Every structure is written in structure tokens, then in C-alpha cells.
Chains A and B, each alone.
Chain A
Amino acid sequence: MATDNLDSLLKSNPQPPQTGFIVDDTEAISSSGEAGDFANREFVHRVGPSSYPAMMSARIASASTVPDLFTTHPLLRDFLVTESSQIQDETVDECLPFLSGLQQGITFNEHGVPHLDRRRHIQFLHKGLRNLPSQFVAADASRPWMFYWALAGLSAMGEDVSEYRERIISTLRPIQNPTGGFGGGNGQMSHLASTYAALLSLAIVGGKEAFNLVDRKSMWEWLSVLKQPDGGFQMSVGGEEDIRGAYCAAVIITLLDLPLELSRESPAWTSNGATLLTNLPEWVAKCQSFEGGFSGRPDAEAHGAYAFCALACLCVLGDPHIIIPKYIDVPRLISWLSSRQYAPEGGFSGRTNKLVDGCYSHWVGGCWPLLEASLDGPFQGHSGKEGSAEAISNTSVGSLFSREGLIRYILCCCQDFGKRGGLRDKPSHMSDSYHTCYVLAGLSSAQHKWHFNASTDNEPDSTLTSAYQWTAEPVLDDSQIYDEQDRVEMLHPVFVICQGRAEEMRAYFASQGGL
């Protein structure tokens, strides 16, 4: 082949040669031995008749390693076209080039899956903690979220975030209100979501100094005021009551080991001793819709984010195998959750007839460990090799969803492969901290198997200890489509921060005793 021709091809692909299998025209030509240094290639795949030009064989090779489930439109499609089906088809077309291992300029492994670009994603999240331009004004009422998403995402990728400890403390100090709780920023009313994100950020960086920032007494008073007579929680005083409030409040109460009784200021106070938890699981149960999923509040449509809030809230309140079947219709929930996974995309949607979105990798994907543990019952230990499919299936319902599908969607479609880095909703969307965090959390649940260990009751005087009985192991099976280097850390299935952090915070406050 003429050199100038090769040059023009090289120019069209500015990516430097990397290890792994690059499937695009330039590299395919390269692999025929006319250019480049391939000593560092991990893998060069050659299949197909030897008479094919090298370029062709490489393309086919890569495509053939990806199961057709992920490279073609679904088998059953209706003729009727509506807006929903139109944008669904467009989304599939948008994802297919990424899923097929044919996208230009991306390095794929032998399963047609790209590596997790840790370096760029880490850089992206660090950037989100630095000074932000004025366009971020919309985030002005949710700055604790910015901290949590970045810190949770960074630690999921194995980054040591303790360097942020001092600054997290000093940044959160003026955001905490003397009347209890944290707001979205200095001078803003306290909000359950901000408080949840603030506490988890403190738990991630850890340490006595971080924990001591929290004023537990005023927190308890404020939570009492948010508690409603029907069992739920308002997000802020006078604000909306929804299932996010139920989950956030439960997490706050258990992490800080708060007393459960209500202050006299509470609208839910009764003379017969109603507590912060009275009617809470009943209220959550009222949010299960006829489809089986959960809505933000009773009467509304089932939505993935709220399914996680519902299950995680229940898993704070009790042991999954007891409390989940007690309050909700499990078969309908599983059927609905399972329907959230689409092919060829592989990822999850948030609602029936809506599109896949990377963030549901967590909101829906994060439901599976909780539900699987609920079906499995308390973990009794394995017979067989840790993490192997065989060992897991001996003691467990195994996986109820396609780990492969989710991991393909995450690694192929959710990564911004450009200089920007970060993870995203779908290829046509820009990455952001929120998606980066929750896509990584979804990846973590797809790569690990969680077990709930029977409650040991080693804290006889305290309550809400169920959430501290979880252990995990990596899923290791022959069908693993990603490389070991792309495995992220274990994120706690209830708190969605690295394993051990919530436990440390809880132990600290439990040792502090009363308010």
C-alpha cells in the first residue's frame, strides 16, 4: 500500500496505538504488518478465510466476538410507529456502533469491550471539585451532591480521597444549619437530599474530625419536624414528601445512631410513642405501583430511581429476607425490574417504554443485590471456589439480570472516550458527575456478588443494625467480558459508598451514646 495513502488514514485517526485490539481501518491495516509496532499488542484476533484482506478479517473478527444479542435490533418489533418507538429505535441505532466493537478510535478487548478509562474519569471527577464556572449556578442548591458524586466515584475507582478530608469539613461547616441538617449551600434551608449527600461525603473521607462536624442533636430535632403523620418524610420543612425522603432519613438515622423517639415539635408526635420509623415501611409500600415498581409518592408511575430508594430504605429498617417480602409484592417487583433491561443496548431504562440511561445502572442495577439477598436469605458460606458461578449458584438465586449486558452498555456506551472523560447517560449525551458516580456504582454491582449475613446482634442496645451485615465477593466466571484491571471497588449496596466507610461512621456514633 502506498505510503501517502497510509498517512491519510493515520491522520483520520489521531489516537495513538494502544495495547489491546483496535478495530478501525488504520489499525487493521497496521495489523497486516505494513506499519506500526505491535510488540505490545495483548491480542490480535484473526479469523475468517485467509483469502480475506486483513482489514476485512479484523472487522469481522471483532464483530463476531460480540454476541448478536448486542449487535442487532430485537427480534420482536411492532409495525406501529409512535413517538416512543421512534426514539427507542434511534437510541438503538445510536448505541449499536459502540456495542459492535466497530466504533473508530476505541480500543476493544477480545470480547469487543473497551477498557475503563480510569485516568480520564478520575481527572474528570477531580475537576468537578475545583472551582466551577458560572454555568454551574443550577447546582448552587445541591453542592453536597457535587461532593458526594465526585468522592464516591473517585473512591470506586480506587483513588485515595483522604486528601480532601480537611476541605470537605471546612466546606460543609457553613452549609450545616444550627437548626439541624445541611442545606444545598451556605444560607440555604436544610434538605434531606443535601444532608444525605453531606453525611456520605463525610463518611467517605472518614475520621473523627469529619464525624464531629455533625450536630446530631439538632439533626434529630429537624428530622422530627420533617416526619409526617402518614409515616413519610418531607424533604425540607414545608417541602415535598416523597420516597427519596424515606430513604435519606433512614440512612441519616442509622449512620448517626439517632434516638428513634420524636421530639414534641414533630407533626407526627403522638402520646402513645410514635417514632421516627412509625409507619415508614408502610408508607414505602404504598408507593409500589400496579406494575410492580415504585413511584416517588403514592399514586404515581413506577420509576427506577424510586425502586432503589424503596428497597434501600427497607434494608436499613430490617434484614432484607424478612422486611422486603413483608412489605412488598416481590414477584411483581422483580418482573418489572427485569423488564428494565433492554437488548441490544444492555443497559437499564427507568420506566416502561422509556430509554436506557447510564444512571439506571445504579438505580435499577443497585436493586439486584438487595433483592437477590432477600431471596437468598442469610448467607451460610460457600461450597466451592469463591466467586465462581458454581459456588454462587449453589447458595444463591444467582444473578437475576444480565451482568454482561449491563457491563457492555457501561463500558461501550457510557464512557466519554475523548479528552473530557467521565461517564454519561448515552453516547449522545455529555458526561457529568452524577452519571459518572452512578454508572460506576452500577458497574460495581455488576462485578460483585453481595451476601447478607444473619444479624449478629452484637450491639444489643442499638437499633437499625441490618445495614451493617453485608459482605461481598468479586464475581469470577468464565464468561467475564472485561479485564481484571477494569474491576472497580465494592460499593455498599445500601449506602453506595466504599465498603467499610459507613460501618466506621456508625461505630463512631454508636460509641458516642445519647445526644
Chain B
Amino acid sequence: MGPKIKAQPRAVAEPEIPVEYPTVKDKLEAEYLESRPYEVLKAKKGFSGMSAAEKSAYANYIFLETGVWKNWAASQQKDFWALVEKQKIPLPLPKPQPLGKDFRGRDLETYTPQEYQEYQKKQTRLRQLEAESKRWREIHIDGDERIEEFEEEESQEVEKQRRKEIGDLKGKAMGRYESDPTWDDVKPIPQDDGEGALAQIAYTDEYSEAMGYLRAIMAANEHTPRVLGLTEHIIGMNAAHYTVWLYRASTLFALNSSIAEELTWLNEVALVNQKNYQIWHHRQLLIDQLYTTISSSPSDLEELAKSELEFMMQMFAEDSKNYHVWSYRQYLVRKLDLFSSAPELASVEALLREDVRNNSAWSHRFFIVFSNPSYCTPTSKATEPDPAIPATVIDRELNFAKAATFEAPQNQSPWNYLRGVLRKADRKLSTEEEFASQFVQDLEKDTVDIKSSHALDFLADVWEETGEVEKADRALTLLGDTFDRVRKNYWEWRRKALKKD
């Protein structure tokens, strides 16, 4: 193609067929040479091979190229230009400079001439848009009051489109906030990491930009609806960001936003971020706030308790021992006084039916039973006796723990629960000696048969209580030597304590 066309005799005075160059670089180089016909001629023929006219034209070309004529007298310059015109010496073009690269990193010199033309058009458009956008910002940031509200909205849309086009032309979309005219009044504050900071994180552009805007918003102490969108955006990228959560909460309250809507949104966030402190503290702040508005309406409170329980059970379906959810649940029970609530106890029992080893559920049961303000002493610690607890409650709980023990005697949860209940009741462990003995046969014989090391542990304490030191010692020795060997040092320490008594 190219070479063939080039090979055509150019001197023929037919209508000129435009030469097609494969790249813009080729074209520019050809044009460069075309603007220096006498230089080309000299290279071809040598100076001595040139005619006198050609030599003269060559000399004038050199004057043109070097620009020495500029130092001549005006009349001389006039003669010179007349001669240049007469000899048809083209103005020599400067040597083509590298064109650089486009936004994709492609060398512009490898563009075809047509492509390059398109490119230049786009660049012109880009410069124009950027100038318009700059002007737009100048007007709007200065808050030009002559602009009617309606117009402003319309022009905001136009400006938004303009920025999108700028992004397209640059091959790099503008950040979410930079491209949005409603954020023009905020000047993002970059993160100051200090010189050569350790453990610097290579943030995505999206995260960096959003955080830059948040820092600016916080510096201005702004609490407006757009802050909710910004904080939601950041939380979606990093849910562990406590500063963002706390700022969001203060904004919600400042705006008097709908707590119900926030809770619905929060449910989704919680389900995808299982191990997160902040979500649950945020929820607690929301409930504290909501409570002040519905505390006089029993039906609203009941509704809230119901929906919260439903959501927590959804969380427990993912992880029935999620510490944050359980801690929140304890908070909620106190806040809404759910100690005597039937669904509260029932749902804990349901979780235990599913997995009797779920110690979180056991702990929660202990809390709702033994911290119930309708009968408990408010200052009584979990490890202390509370004489205010009714005996019926104590007996019910003892039976509950014991029944669970039969399902899986080596499950420590109900054994710990049993001890906890006896402590609350201020009853001696020996009151349950008979029960615990069912899991221990032939203690004194070689044929000793143990169903539960926890029963043996329990009995050792019982016998210490009753002064049956030898039996206690035998139980502790069996634990250390056979049934719970990894804790041998602990059992030995208990044995030593027996002897001291």
C-alpha cells in the first residue's frame, strides 16, 4: 500500500493522490523532509553535483533554517524574501518532537494520521470542557446568588455530565465526589502519613477519595444528609472504621433521621461483617435513641423486641456463638426489660436444643435468670450468692442443668451452670452429690468407670466440703492420671490444697 503509492512518480502534474502514511510519525517525518527539498537534494547529489541555481537555493534554505537573516538590514531582508519566494523554497519545519503517550500508555507516534486527528479533536474538546468546568466551579463555589435555584439544579446536571465526559476523554473516571457538583464546596483533606511511614496501606482511589472528603466534613463539623451517603460508602469498604461509625451516629441524631430505616440498613451490613465491634455499638446507640421516643408505648416496645430478636436469630443462624451479638442481646434485655419475656427464654432454649454445648446460650440464660430485677438483688455479682432469688427459680434451674447433663455428660457448660446456680442459692455442692455420683462408678476400684471428668471434678469439691479428703484426693488423682491429664498440674495443686486444709 504505502510504498506502492510512494513509488508513483510525483512529478506528473495529475491531481495529487494524498499519500497514506502508516503512522503519524511517518507522516511528520515525511513532511519534515518535504519542507527541506534542497537539503534532500544535497544529500542525494553532493554539493558539487548541484547546479548553480540549486546551490543558491540551498544557501538561502540555510539562511532560513539558521535564521541569520533576522540580523540583516531591512532592505537586505526584503531582497532575501523575494528570492525565497522566487526560488519556491518552502519554510523548513522544525524537527518532529516525540508526541508522548495517550492515557492507555500507547505511543501517540504509532497512531495512524486519522487516529491522530481524532485524538487531537478530543484533546481540544477536553480543554474546552475543562475550561467550562473551571468556570462553573468558580461561579458556584462563590455562591453566585444571581443563579435561580431551578437553574442551579439544571446546570448541576449539565456540569455532572460535563465531568463524566471529561473523565471519559481522560480515560479515567473522576472520583465519585470530585465528579459530583454537590460536593464542590468541600476541599478534600489528604491523609498525612508522615515521612516514610510504616505499614502504609495502598488504598484504592475510591477509598482515598472518600476518606479525604470525610476528613474535610469532620473538620467542618458538618452534619447533613450527604454525610450519611458518604459514611455508608466508606463503611461498605471498611466496616472496622470506628471514627466513621461514630460520626455517622452523631449525624443521624443531628438530622433526626429515621432509626427504623437505619436499622434495616444495618442488618445487611451486620450479616456480611460477622466479626465487627462497631456495628453492634452503633446499633446500641440507635436503640438508646429510639427508646426515648417509644418508651411510653408498650406495643412499640414489644414490636421492637420482636424484630430485634428475629434479626439476632438470623445472625445466630450464621454463628450461634457470635460474641458481639450476644453482648448486644444482654444490653437489649436490660434496656427493654426482657428478663421475664417468654420469647427470650424460649429462644435460648431453642438454641440449646439445637446445640446443648452452646455456652453462649447457657451464659445468656444465667444472665436473664439471675439478673432479673423483678426478684434479684441489683448489686449481686455473678459469682456471689443472692438470697433474694426464689427457691422455685433455683430448683427450676438446677433441674434444667441436670437434665442437659444427661444428654452429654462430658459437656462442661451445664456443669458450670450447675455450680453457678448453687453459688447463687448459697447451697453446698454436696447437695448435688447424689446427682454427680451417677456419672462415677467404682471410684475406689480398678474398674473405676467415669462418664464425665466434670462430675469427678464436682465430686472432688463435694468431698473437700464434707471433709472426705481421701475420696477427694482419689478423684483428683484420677483426673490428673487418667481422665483429664493435660490439666495434671491444676489437679495436683488442688490435691496440695486438700492437705493444707
- Residues on A close to B: CB < 8 A? 69, 75-80, 82-85, 128-134, 136-143, 146-147, 150, 164, 167-168, 170-174, 183-189, 191, 235-240, 285-286, 288-292, 295-297, 299-303, 328-329, 332, 334-336, 338-339, 341-343, 346, 351-354, 397-402, 405
Closest 4 CB pairs of A and B: A290-B420, A84-B357, A343-B486, A301-B363
Partner of A129, one of B195, B198, B323, B411: B198
Interface positions of B (Cβ within 8 A of A): 189, 191-204, 207, 211, 215, 218, 237-243, 246, 249-250, 277, 281, 284-285, 320-321, 323, 326-327, 330-331, 334, 354-360, 362-364, 366-367, 370-371, 381-383, 407-413, 416-417, 419-420, 423-424, 450-453, 457, 482-483, 485-490, 493, 496
**What are 5 pairs between A and B in contact, CB < 8 Å?**
A128-B199, A129-B199, A139-B199, A170-B194, A332-B383
A342 vs chain B, min Cβ distance (A): 7
Report the separation of the CA atoms of residues A353 and B238 in the bound assembly, to the nearest whole angstrom: 31
A341 neighbours in B (Cβ, 8 Å): 486-487
- Smallest CB separation, A114 vs chain B (Å): 20
Cα distance, A399 to B451, chains bound together (Å): 28
Q: Which of A77, A339, A399 contacts B412 (CB 8 A)?
A: A339
Give bound CA distance, A325 to B123, whole Å.
Answer: 78
Q: Are B192 and A186 in contact (CB under 8 A)?
A: yes
The answer to whether B359 and A353 touch across the interface, beta carbons within 8 angstroms, is yes
CB pair A239–B201 under 8 Å, yes or no, is: no
Which residues of A sit under 8 angstroms from B249, Cβ to Cβ? Answer: 238
Instruction: Chain A residues near B202: list those with CB within 8 A.
Output: 131-134
On whether the beta carbons of A84 and B412 are closer than 8 Å, the reply is no
CB-CB < 8 A to B207: which residues of A?
A: 134, 137, 140
A506 to B407, CA, bound (A): 54
Q: Which residues of B contact A402 (CB under 8 A)?
A: 486-489
B246 touching A334 by the CB < 8 A rule?
Answer: no
- Chain B residues near A339 (CB-CB < 8 A): 412, 487
By a CB distance below 8 angstroms, the chain A residues around B411 are 78, 353
The reply to whether A146 and B199 contact each other, CB–CB distance below 8 Å, is yes
Across the interface, which residues of B come within 8 angstroms of A399, CB to CB? 489
Task: Given A134-B202, A141-B243, decide whether A342 and B486 contact each other with a Cβ distance below 8 A.
Answer: yes
Query: A455 → chain B, closest Cβ, in Å?
Result: 26
B487: chain A residues at CB < 8 Å are 338-339, 341, 401-402
User: Within the assembled complex, what's the spacing in Å between the Cα atoms of A405 and B490?
Assistant: 13
A351 CB contact (under 8 Å) in B321, B330, B370, B371: B321
CB pair B360 A167 closer than 8 Å: no
Task: With both chains docked as a complex, state the minimum distance between the C-beta of A55 and any C-beta of chain B, in angstroms.
Answer: 31
Complex CA–CA separation, A343 to B480 (angstroms): 12
Please name all residues of chain B whose beta carbon is closer than 8 Å to the beta carbon of A172 when the two chains form the complex.
Answer: 194
Is the Cβ of B243 less than 8 Å from the Cβ of A184? yes
B315 → chain A closest CB, angstroms: 15
Contact B482 A184 (CB under 8 A): no
* A76-B483, A290-B366 as given contacts; A186 in contact with B193, CB under 8 Å: yes
Cβ contacts under 8 Å, A134 to chain B:
201-204, 207
Q: In the complex the two chains form, is A167's CB within 8 Å of B452's CB? A: no
A500 to B483, CA, bound (A): 42
Inter-chain contacts of A398 with B (CB < 8 A): 489, 493
Contacts of B457 in A (CB 8 A): 335
A79 CB to nearest B CB, Å:
8
| Nearest CB on A from B320, distance (A) | 7
Kindly list chain B residues whose C-beta atoms are within 8 Å of the C-beta of A187: 189, 191-192, 211, 215, 218, 243
In the complex, are the beta carbons of A137 and B409 less than 8 A apart? no
Find B363's partner among A85, A130, A142, A302 (CB 8 Å cutoff).
A302
Query: Chain A residues with Cβ under 8 A from B192's Cβ?
Result: 174, 186-187
Which of B277, B321, B334, B407 makes the CB contact (< 8 A) with A240?
B277
Q: How far is the CB of B126 from chain A (nearest CB, A)?
A: 29
Closest A residue to B285 by CB, please name it. A238
Question: Apart from A183-B243, A346-B486, what are 15 other A-B pairs with CB-CB below 8 Å?
Answer: A78-B407, A82-B357, A83-B355, A132-B201, A170-B194, A174-B192, A174-B193, A288-B381, A290-B416, A290-B424, A328-B383, A341-B486, A343-B486, A398-B493, A401-B490
Q: With A288-B382, A352-B359 known to touch, is A236 a contact of B489 (CB < 8 Å)?
A: no
Contact status A76-B381, CB under 8 Å: no
Q: A170-B194, A238-B250 are in contact. Are A140 and B330 (CB under 8 A)?
A: no
Are B356 and A82 within 8 A (Cβ)? yes
A-B contact count (CB 8 A): 243
CA A405 – CA B488 in complex, angstroms? 11
Q: Is the CB of A286 within 8 A of B381?
A: yes
In the complex, A398 Cα to B492 Cα: how many Å? 10
Q: A167-B196, A341-B487 are in contact. Are A239 and B242 (CB under 8 A)?
A: yes
A76 to B419 Cα, complex, angstroms: 21
**What residues of A have a CB within 8 angstroms of the CB of B323 in the complex?**
296, 300-301, 303
Report the bound CA distance from A303 to B330 in whole Å: 15
Chain B residues within an 8 Å CB radius of A334: 490
Q: State A334–B246 Cα separation when bound (angstroms).
A: 38
A137 & B237 in contact (Cβ 8 Å cutoff) = yes
Q: Which residue of B lies closest to A201 (CB)?
A: B198
CA distance in complex: A347, B373 (Å): 39
Q: Across the interface, which residues of A come within 8 angstroms of B493, CB to CB? A: 397-398, 400
**Docked pose: A238 CA to B254 CA in angstroms:** 15
Residues of B within 8 A of A137 (CB): 201, 203-204, 207, 237-238
Given contacts A132-B199, A397-B493, contact A296 B327 (CB under 8 A): yes
> Do A173 and B241 contact each other (CB < 8 Å), given the known contacts A78-B410, A292-B383, A338-B487?
no
Contacts of B281 in A (CB 8 A): 239-240
> Quick check: A130 and B199 within 8 Å, CB to CB?
yes
Chain A residue with the shortest CB-CB distance to B202 = A134
- Tell me whether A189 and B326 are in contact in the complex, defined as CB-CB below 8 angstroms, given that A171-B197, A353-B412 are known contacts: no
Q: Is the CB of B195 within 8 A of A189?
A: no
Interface contact A76-B198, CB-CB below 8 Å: no
Most A C-beta atoms less than 10 A away, residue of B334, B408, B412 = B408
With A80-B356, A187-B215 as known contacts, state yes or no: A140 contacts B489, CB within 8 Å.
Answer: no
Pairwise interchain contact B197-A170, C-beta atoms closer than 8 A: yes
A301-B363, A339-B412 are contacts. A132–B200 as well, Cβ < 8 Å? yes
**Closest Cβ of chain A: how far from B358's Cβ, in Å?**
7
Report the bound CA distance from A185 to B238 in whole Å: 13
A142 vs B360: C-alpha distance when bound (angstroms) = 28
Q: Bound complex: CA of A385 vs CA of B419, how far in Å?
A: 41
Cα separation A343 to B196 with both chains bound (whole Å): 46
Task: From B204, B250, B355, B382, give the contact of A84 (CB < 8 A).
Answer: B355
The distance in angstroms between the C-alpha atoms of A346 and B362, with both chains bound, is 25
- What CA separation (Å) do A454 and B268 show in the bound complex? 54
**A69 contacts B199, CB within 8 Å?**
no
CB distance from B278 to the nearest CB of A (A): 9
A500 to chain B, nearest CB (A): 23
- Asked if B359 and A140 make an inter-chain contact with CB atoms under 8 angstroms apart, the answer reads no
A331–B261 CA distance with the chains assembled, in angstroms:
48
**Beta-carbon contact of A239 and B246 below 8 Å:** yes
Closest chain A CB from B303 CB (angstroms): 24
Residues of chain B with a CB closer than 8 A to A185's CB = 191
Residues in B neighbouring A240, C-beta threshold 8 A? 277, 281, 284
Which of chain A's residues have a CB closer than 8 A to the CB of B203? 134, 137, 140
A139 touches B201 (CB 8 A): yes
- Knowing A84-B357, A143-B199, A240-B281 are in contact, say whether A290-B490 is a contact too (CB < 8 A): no
Which of B194, B321, B334 is within 8 Å of A171, CB to CB?
Answer: B194
Point out the residues of chain B lying under 8 angstroms from A78, CB to CB.
407-411
The docked-state distance in angstroms from the alpha carbon of A130 to that of B197 is 9
Residue from the set A173, A185, A397 with the largest chain B CB neighbour count within 10 Å = A185
Cβ–Cβ < 8 Å partners of A167 in chain B = 196-198
- CB-CB under 8 A from A188, the residues of chain B are 241-243
Nearest Cβ in chain A — how far from B391, in angstroms?
18
